[in-house]
Homo-oligomer: A and B are copies of this chain.
Amino acid sequence: MNVLSQATAFGGMQGVFSHPSEACNCDMTFAVFVPPQAIKEPRPVLWYLSGLTCTHANVMDKGEYRRMAAELGLIIVCPDTSPRGNEVPDELTNWQMGKGAGFYLDATQEPWAENFQMYTYVTEELPAFVAQHFRVDMSRQGIFGHSMGGHGAMTIALKHPDRFKSCSAFAPIVNPSTAEWSVGAFEKYLGAGKAAWRQYDACSLVEDGARFPEFLIDQGKADAYLEKGLAPWLFEAAIKDTDIALTLRMHERYDHSYNFISTFMDDHLAWHAERLV
């Protein structure tokens, strides 16, 4: 493990680390906040998955999670959103594809399959690595994220209801199979056959029988992507005849930025802590 930076914050430690990833076939960077309570005992871990164009750094810099995480004793892990490096394929002029746009799936199509194995990375390789290097209680895990990362969090929770005790999302892409900004990427990563897309689509997963007890979703009504990319009402419709509980909060005047996320970060951390701590 390579320590890129470490600093004391809110009595705990905010660090940035990198390690060689077998799944992604490149070095991967991630951020970890360790609360002061972890000196005494292993603490619950909360995975934050970021949105398109982001790295681990956006939420670390702008998410304002440390004060409350320190109070509640939560370890926060923030992975990158894609493989990185000169050897990794990309579409330089397309922010919805390639670097910064891994969509938390395992690509099956060339040239992407060689590196874009973010599902395996985030659900297997990184958790094993974090469990080895930090004082995490892996029996108490929650997952959340923003936009593309909200999609990641919800699909991963739906496929691992026994592993995660809590899931929430800020402005998630709940139906990437139809959303304007993900259809192109899904086709390139997974091929034209839409059957393979369903395992990475929260609405499709629910239709196909996947279950998770409850979700918290916050969504800004001034979000420019609300209608064509996010549309949380599609998830509301998908769970209608299930026992999945959804707390969907629509907020006047809030956009898609970290101004929105940081405003409701405390609520999300408290939501997870109620189910984890």
Contacts and interface: CB of A to CB of B under 8 A. Distances in A.
A227 to B, nearest CB: 19
Contact of A259 (B8, B222, B262): B8
Given A62-B62, A64-B64, A64-B67, A262 B222 contact: no
Interface string A115-131: 00000000000000000
Contacts of A253: 8
A61 B242 CA distance: 40
A66 interface: yes
Contacts of A9: 259-260, 262-263
A220 B8 CA distance: 10
B263 A10 contact: yes
A201 to B, nearest CB: 29
A255 interface: yes
A67 B266 CA distance: 10
Interface residues of A, number: 23
Contacts of A175: none
Contacts of A247: none
A61 B61 contact: yes
A266 B66 CA distance: 13
Contacts of A67: 64, 262-263, 266
Contact of A8 (B14, B66, B255, B266): B255
A49 B163 CA distance: 46
Contacts of A266: 67
Nearest to A14: B259
A112 interface: no
A245 interface: no
B222 A8 contact: yes
A7 interface: yes
8 contacts: A7-B255, A7-B259, A8-B254, A8-B260, A10-B262, A11-B263, A64-B67, A66-B262
Ranked nearest first, the 9 interchain pairs of A and B with the lowest CB-CB distance are A9-B259, A7-B259, A8-B253, A64-B64, A10-B263, A8-B254, A61-B62, A7-B255, A61-B61
